[in-house]
Chain A
Amino acid sequence: MGIEMPLKVAEVIEANTTEFTAQCYELYQAPPFGSLVKTSTAPVEIYGIIYNTTTGSIDPGRRPLARGKEESKEEDIYRIHPQFSSLFRTECNVLVVGYNEEGRIHHYLPPHPAHIHSFVYQCSDEEVYQFSQSLDFLSLILASQGKSPVPVEELLAASLRYASRTHPERGEFLITAGRELTLLLSKEVNCLSTILKRIQGE
């Protein structure tokens, strides 16, 4: 696996111990749902998983109007109104799932939340691989049940699918993850079944 440079994609605009919100530098260019990102808040790097992405007007008082009735392509709307790219913004909500201190990865919450204006980087494949050597982060995702605007089952499945792509033995990784989930969700068969269906065939 080659060494990849981390890609700076966003900046923290709101943070607490369990999650943070980041504004993306480019419209619609949020990291994928379920992907691993990190933010550098010295002396630690905080890891998080994208659990929700929102795009809307920068000014809450200015609601976008439908503009494309006369256009044949969606791109034409942005071509005719080039200012739109500056008037909308994409934000993503990130669930904190661990941190790295002095090269050691911890799969539990960091001592302090991220700082406002901390840069957010998309983790390289190597970092995702290293982070997902332990599956303890799954319990942090499960703990967010009820808080996230998306079903936790979807987030668990998406994060496992995303991480599995960095493992040479992809199937084996998913089987191990499935076993872990079976332990964590022994009393929630329906939930477990939903997740397993979503990671099958990867």
Chain B
Amino acid sequence: MTLDLVRVVAQIDSLAHNLRAEEKVRYERLHSAMSLLSSYACETEKLRGKIATSKTSWLIAEPQGKLDQSCPPSPCPDDFTVIATDGSQIDVDRHYSVSCYLINIGAVTLHYGGNPYASLESTPFLYFGEESNLADPKGMWKQAIKGDLLGIKRSVDECRHLTELAQSLPLGTPALALLDGSLVLWRLETQGYPDFVKQNLLEEGFLSSLDSLSKLSEQGNLTVASYISSPGSTEVVNILRLALCPYEIANCDRYCSGRDTVRKCEVVAGIRDRDLFQQLLSPGERSALFLTRSKIVRESYREHQILFFYLRLEDEVARVEIPRWVVDNGHLELTHALILDQCHRGEGYPVALSEAHEKAVVSSTDKEQFWHLVELALNHSHLPFTTSAKSQSKRTRWV
């Protein structure tokens, strides 16, 4: 017996009971948040001033238009292309004597219109030896690429491949280059990696790709976006929190840290941005634009400041992130129209991302086969391939 589902069922019943009890409070908070959104809808300038001066413990977006704005989609062009990449990885396994990792990139080109065609590909990249570390060019420091950092490296590779795909597109035809997840590599900031890691992955990696995409966008009809399904972010709700804050210049640490009293802004606690826009927008509509004020973006993203909007679909609200130059180049409406069209074609999720994922995915069987091939190659070269006792124990289960 592994997982005792009979015992779990009783706990799931408690979970459902608890959620039912919380539902009333959540409904009241959502109602408050919706009222606030209408009340402060036209106070964008005032709110922006307060956002600029305040110090909050939560991430807060900067509104670029009326808070309760809802924009219907424009029609799609007759001929257009959608490109997308997604990645999957096999992480370094400390139980094996060989230190290496693999990134598999799925890349998709879908052309719609008079001459429709599709290209679905995947390319695996095995990194080992010096490539499995990032080295500080000024010193002796090395940072192993594994775990969270491998996830970031994968995002960088996905963006680089997307750029290569974009470079192969004919100029002129409207095109959308789409990534899965966020354009904000916030984990680079929060994990406290050394500067040379940030330099390598962000400046020379991700931002370098955005530089190229920006040029292509300026020259032609290319727009770039990332798509987050069912986002958990609260950056817009946090604008309402700030609006509720009684202090002229909010400072959570100074005024509210450690206080026993309930903060006034708690009226909207637990509400996510998507809950708000699920109520506010009709299917197909997008919200106003918001500027992310994530520290890494403000300090390191240069001209690639990241804006986002929420997109209401039939069954969910998605978050779409775009670099600021997409708007400057006049491609905002194209982005809205093409992503919505992708979701319609993909039963609620962009079909290009869905297919890129299908090409990229590395199953547990693939991982087993991969390590088996590594073992075979080492044996062939008369090199030892050792595994830890724990790994061996998992592979040869016994009674």
Give the distance in Å from the alpha carbon of A85 to the alpha carbon of B119 in the complex.
Answer: 10
What is the 8 Å Cβ interface bit string for chain A, positions 56-100, against chain B (1 contact, 0 not)? Answer: 000100100000000000000011111111110000000000000
Task: List, in ascending order, chain B residues with CB within 8 A of A82's CB.
Answer: 110-112, 116-118
Interface pair A59/B345, CB less than 8 Å apart: no
Give the distance in Å from the alpha carbon of A80 to the alpha carbon of B111 in the complex.
Answer: 10
Q: Is B316 an interface residue (CB 8 A)?
A: no
Interface pair A83/B112, CB less than 8 Å apart: no
Number of residues of chain B lying within 8 A (CB) of chain A: 13
Task: List, in ascending order, chain B residues with CB within 8 A of A86's CB.
Answer: 118-120
Contact sample, A vs B, 12 pairs, CB 8 Å cutoff: A59-B358, A62-B358, A78-B116, A79-B116, A81-B345, A82-B110, A82-B117, A83-B108, A83-B118, A86-B120, A87-B120, A87-B355
- Name A residues whose Cβ lies closer than 8 Å to a Cβ of B: 59, 62, 78-87
Task: List, in ascending order, chain A residues with CB within 8 A of B118's CB.
Answer: 82-86
Q: Is B37 an interface residue (CB 8 A)?
A: no
Give the distance in Å from the alpha carbon of A85 to the alpha carbon of B358 in the complex.
Answer: 15
Q: Please, which residue of chain B has its CB at the minimum distance from the CB of A81?
A: B345
Q: Please, which residue of chain B has its CB at the minimum distance from the CB of A59?
A: B358
Task: List, in ascending order, chain A residues with CB within 8 A of B120's CB.
Answer: 83, 86-87
Task: List, in ascending order, chain B residues with CB within 8 A of A84's CB.
Answer: 118
Give the distance in Å from the alpha carbon of A79 to the alpha carbon of B111 in the complex.
Answer: 10
CB distance from B396 to the nearest CB of A (A): 28
Give the distance in Å from the alpha carbon of A83 to the alpha carbon of B345 in the complex.
Answer: 11
Q: Is B351 an interface residue (CB 8 A)?
A: yes
Task: List, in ascending order, chain B residues with CB within 8 A of A78's CB.
Answer: 116
Interface pair B358/A81, CB less than 8 Å apart: no
Q: Please, which residue of chain B has its CB at the minimum distance from the CB of A84?
A: B118
Pick the 10 closest A-B CB pairs, nearest first: A82-B116, A83-B118, A82-B118, A86-B120, A86-B118, A79-B116, A82-B117, A83-B355, A82-B110, A83-B110
Give the distance in Å from the alpha carbon of A78 to the alpha carbon of B108 in the complex.
Answer: 16
Give the distance in Å from the alpha carbon of A59 to the alpha carbon of B354 in the complex.
Answer: 14
List 8 other contacts, CB 8 Å, given A82-B118, A83-B110, A86-B120: A59-B358, A62-B358, A79-B112, A82-B111, A84-B118, A86-B119, A87-B120, A87-B355
Give the distance in Å from the alpha carbon of A84 to the alpha carbon of B118 in the complex.
Answer: 8
Give the distance in Å from the alpha carbon of A80 to the alpha carbon of B355 in the complex.
Answer: 15
CB distance from B158 to the nearest CB of A (A): 19
Task: List, in ascending order, chain A residues with CB within 8 A of B110's CB.
Answer: 82-83
CB distance from A174 to the nearest CB of B (A): 44
Give the distance in Å from the alpha carbon of A87 to the alpha carbon of B355 in the complex.
Answer: 9
Q: Please, which residue of chain B has its CB at the minimum distance from the CB of A80?
A: B345
Q: Please, which residue of chain A has its CB at the minimum distance from the CB of B113?
A: A79
Q: Please, which residue of chain A has its CB at the minimum distance from the CB of B111?
A: A82
Give the distance in Å from the alpha carbon of A188 to the alpha carbon of B120 in the complex.
Answer: 51
Task: List, in ascending order, chain A residues with CB within 8 A of B112's CB.
Answer: 79-80, 82
- A59, A82, A83, A86, most chain B CB atoms within 10 A: A83
What is the 8 Å Cβ interface bit string for chain B, positions 82-115, against chain A (1 contact, 0 not)? Answer: 0000000000000000000000000010111000
CB distance from B122 to the nearest CB of A (A): 12
Give the distance in Å from the alpha carbon of A79 to the alpha carbon of B79 in the complex.
Answer: 12
Task: List, in ascending order, chain A residues with CB within 8 A of B355's CB.
Answer: 83, 87
Give the distance in Å from the alpha carbon of A84 to the alpha carbon of B110 in the complex.
Answer: 11
Task: List, in ascending order, chain B residues with CB within 8 A of A62's CB.
Answer: 358
CB distance from B344 to the nearest CB of A (A): 9
Task: List, in ascending order, chain A residues with CB within 8 A of B345's CB.
Answer: 80-81
Q: Please, which residue of chain A has its CB at the minimum distance from the CB of B114?
A: A79
- B112, B118, B119, most chain A CB atoms within 10 A: B118
Give the distance in Å from the alpha carbon of A81 to the alpha carbon of B59 in the complex.
Answer: 39
Q: Please, which residue of chain B has its CB at the minimum distance from the CB of A79?
A: B116
CB distance from B254 to the nearest CB of A (A): 55
Give the distance in Å from the alpha carbon of A79 to the alpha carbon of B115 in the complex.
Answer: 8
Give the distance in Å from the alpha carbon of A62 to the alpha carbon of B110 in the complex.
Answer: 19
Task: List, in ascending order, chain B residues with CB within 8 A of A79's CB.
Answer: 112, 116
Task: List, in ascending order, chain A residues with CB within 8 A of B119's CB.
Answer: 86
Give the distance in Å from the alpha carbon of A18 to the alpha carbon of B72 in the complex.
Answer: 62
Give the distance in Å from the alpha carbon of A78 to the alpha carbon of B110 in the complex.
Answer: 12
Give the distance in Å from the alpha carbon of A78 to the alpha carbon of B111 in the complex.
Answer: 12
Q: Please, which residue of chain A has its CB at the minimum distance from the CB of B116?
A: A82
CB distance from B113 to the nearest CB of A (A): 9
Give the distance in Å from the alpha carbon of A85 to the alpha carbon of B120 in the complex.
Answer: 10
Those of B107-137 within 8 Å (CB) of chain A: 108, 110-112, 116-120
Give the distance in Å from the alpha carbon of A198 to the alpha carbon of B355 in the complex.
Answer: 45
CB distance from A15 to the nearest CB of B (A): 23
CB distance from B365 to the nearest CB of A (A): 12
CB distance from B81 to the nearest CB of A (A): 10
What is the 8 Å Cβ interface bit string for chain B, positions 8-51, against chain A (1 contact, 0 not)? Answer: 00000000000000000000000000000000000000000000
